[in-house]
Structure 1
């Protein structure tokens, strides 16, 4: 591989992805705020010579000491309370929602900012008390420390008020569903994948070189900018065979190109980020899978929430996500100028979201009816997929016929199915639009 290609690989944008992951780590925010607080406490000793003596005499010698003592004791208690609240939310989400949803709660910026603020304020007060005991501040230094203390208290009050309001919904089922919908929509916007109704044709492999993975794990990120620069320098197109969320082994091809060598293959492999677990950022299918897991957990006998607040809410969020995937123009599925991403089959999306709900909610009339309507709404958005959606609707009806014990409930589901999928009302025989009726 030529030197320009190696340079293009080195100048990839992967560092931006890694920095984004770093910023979402709770320890990073806590360490950053703690370091800033310590620097603020020590900075007073260096600014002290520039403070006029008249201002220094107006601050009592014990004012700062007392405030810092109160701050240190109260922040330790508040930090302990915040940690307890966060761990309780994580445990509740793992036990009653789905374990994979805890990833979104751990990365919640409001919770991370609250914990970082409280830990940083505690360290600020401890460092300030230690520095005061050594006498390095002097009279002028106490003024700066006092001003910094007032600033820290204002930040604490604002953060605490936001944290208290945030706790009212943090870790709840509805909040988690909203988070999943939001992060899945963001993944759709980043990816630009094409959703295909017909079976997706694989890349042309005749006379081309394949690149295999050198690791085992889930693909969490693909640096399309680096791949585009490599393809431009090589003067050929790169066709990817995998998308983020795919589990790969060294036996699986991840890309095809017209020409290349060991160095170019190594540079292409370096553009892929692997992990032991899937990530939501570039993987819309993971969002749909976790949404269906939430509905399945709610419909289980142990939880006994028959869809009134969870299963139906998940179906509504799923329709919005599917609409975002289907409405937008994604012709070609092109990831960049010289790199082509494989298309996502709509069958896979439908199975990810609807099959678990159809299985676990087959005996619940409210969920069965909502499922039929959700499939009809998607069919109205994507008419080309009407046949595939009709198959899923018929499968859901067959499951309900097996699972339901009430003949009246089953007849309601059959009526809704005939209404939406035969195009005629079971009562009047009039043609009906799939989108006229709602809950």
Structure 2
């Protein structure tokens, strides 16, 4: 039963990955149209003869012509808009947001509906021309075409409303924030991907190496646990989704003999690709938000408001963090050992680019220190400590970058005492280190 459950979860996740692609929805809508046309042959003979006389074949033919012509134009129009929005978003915000916008469900459903209606009308016209549909079946065909038209109109209305914000900064940032918060929540609800926190590797483990270089994009931990049970071993994963692995780098260690079958299974369920994905990788979402804010600070755009908005969004996401090792319940996949999320990585991913590129902007630094101060009071000690370290680092960077004295004074006045003291201590350490290096150079000379 456990094996069946594991396989079904893996199959479900792979099915969801397929469902996020446009061609799958188009094919399904097209098949649905063909099935609907076939059902008319079954339903039509069941209707009374006087009902079938209400609508003639010419009425159904005119309606089908309208659908076929309109759907071809609507599909081309929608594809043109979609491609334009993809190119605009990649150039205006960040290329990393392209994959997320491509998977926009409203866009995919709308285009799939248009193409499905187009396929339906073409098949119905062909069947009418070869006399498969007689005038006796015209009533059912007419009513079915009306239903298709209603669905098309509803999809068109939804599409027009969606276009009001499609690809805009606000909607794009919200999409990235939503999927990042969702994937982070999944990681926290299932700590360490459902396994044990990765500690030191035991002696005698055997590595399984990747056959290609790239990013870890997904780990099917449910199936990996089943593989470990079948082989009666433990699996230690040194990498998680988002990590880059070189050719031949170990992607797993096992406590049993490595066979060709085991290697093939592990490589199949630790997926390596050429680009990172948002699924199981909340760090990518934080990086993309940081890139949006960073690009807004470029001289050509000069939009501090967007950077401030992104800082707030990142703060909202990180406020829900819980240390994965804090969960005391039994792991879902006890045969797996997976690294936990590092809160300092999350904070640096979200704020690093904006803090660096906005180091000389007072309004950006004020909001940054405000959000980091809030995270410093976080109930999770690891997140609070990470926020403090980043706040100290970025405060020091800002004090060096700002040339106007009153700006530095204003930033100092709103920065917490703990951050100011930490920055002063770090400055003293740097001075001591520089003095030591200079003294060593003099002694060597």
What band does the TM-score fall into relative to the shorter chain? 0.7 to 0.9
d(CA) in 1 for partners of 2:325 and 2:309?
27
Cα distance per residue 1:301-320 (max 9 Å; x no partner): 112211x1x21221122112
Cα contact 1:289–1:353 (8 A) shared by 2: yes
Is 2:319 the partner of 1:352?
A: no
d(CA) in 1 for partners of 2:283 and 2:115?
37
Question: What TM-score does the superposition give when structure 1 sets the normalisation length?
Answer: 0.86
Cα distance per residue 1:142-200 (max 9 Å; x no partner): 111111111101111211111111111111111111111211122223334769xxxx9
Cα distance per residue 1:260-287 (max 9 Å; x no partner): 2314344333321121111101111111
Cα contact 1:245–1:286 (8 A) shared by 2: yes
Shift in Å, 1:103: 0.9
Most deviating of 7-16 and 351-360: 7-16
Most deviating of 67-76 and 38-47: 38-47
Aligned to 2:20: 24
d(CA) in 1 for partners of 2:43 and 2:100?
42
* 1:391-430 mapped onto 2 (5 Å cutoff): 391-418=389-416, 421=419
Shift in Å, 1:332: 7.3
Aligned to 1:434: none
d(CA) in 1 for partners of 2:20 and 2:148?
23
Q: 1:272 aligns with which of 267, 270, 293?
A: 270
Cα contact 1:363–1:404 (8 A) shared by 2: yes
Aligned to 1:214: 211
Cα contact 2:191–2:324 (8 A) shared by 1: no
Aligned to 1:115: 111
d(CA) in 2 for partners of 1:356 and 1:283?
18
Aligned to 2:287: 289
Number of paired residues? Answer: 413
Please give the secondary structure, in 1, of the residue aligned with 2:313: helix
Aligned to 1:224: 221
Please give the secondary structure, in 1, of the residue aligned with 2:320: helix
Shift in Å, 1:210: 2.3
Q: 2:152 aligns with which of 135, 156, 160?
A: 156
Most deviating of 207-216 and 336-345: 207-216
Please give the secondary structure, in 2, of the residue aligned with 1:324: coil
Most deviating of 22-31 and 387-396: 387-396
Question: What TM-score does the superposition give when structure 2 sets the normalisation length?
Answer: 0.85
* 1:192-271 mapped onto 2 (5 Å cutoff): 192=188, 202-262=199-259, 263-271=261-269
Q: 1:361 aligns with which of 358, 362, 367?
A: 358
Cα contact 1:29–1:112 (8 A) shared by 2: yes
Q: 2:62 aligns with which of 62, 66, 73?
A: 66
1:244–1:92: structure 2 CA closer, same or farther, 3 Å change rule?
same
Q: More relative contact order in 1 or in 2 (CA 8 Å, sep 6+)?
A: 1
1:71–1:235: structure 2 CA closer, same or farther, 3 Å change rule?
closer
Most deviating of 161-170 and 334-343: 334-343
Most deviating of 254-263 and 213-222: 254-263
Cα contact 1:38–1:127 (8 A) shared by 2: yes
Aligned to 2:94: 98
Most deviating of 342-351 and 164-173: 342-351
Shift in Å, 1:259: 2.1
Please give the secondary structure, in 2, of the residue aligned with 1:121: helix
Please give the secondary structure, in 2, of the residue aligned with 1:340: strand
Moved over 6 A (4+): 7-10
Is 2:299 the partner of 1:304?
A: no
1:194–1:144: structure 2 CA closer, same or farther, 3 Å change rule?
closer
Which structure's residues are more often helix, by fraction? 2
* 1:101-180 mapped onto 2 (5 Å cutoff): 101-180=97-176
Structure 2: which 5+ runs fail to align? 422-445
Structure 1: which 5+ runs fail to align? 424-439
d(CA) in 2 for partners of 1:47 and 1:392?
68
Q: 2:336 aligns with which of 314, 336, 339?
A: 339
Cα contact 2:89–2:95 (8 A) shared by 1: yes
d(CA) in 1 for partners of 2:317 and 2:5?
34
Cα distance per residue 1:329-355 (max 9 Å; x no partner): 743795622212112222222221111
Cα contact 1:202–1:241 (8 A) shared by 2: no
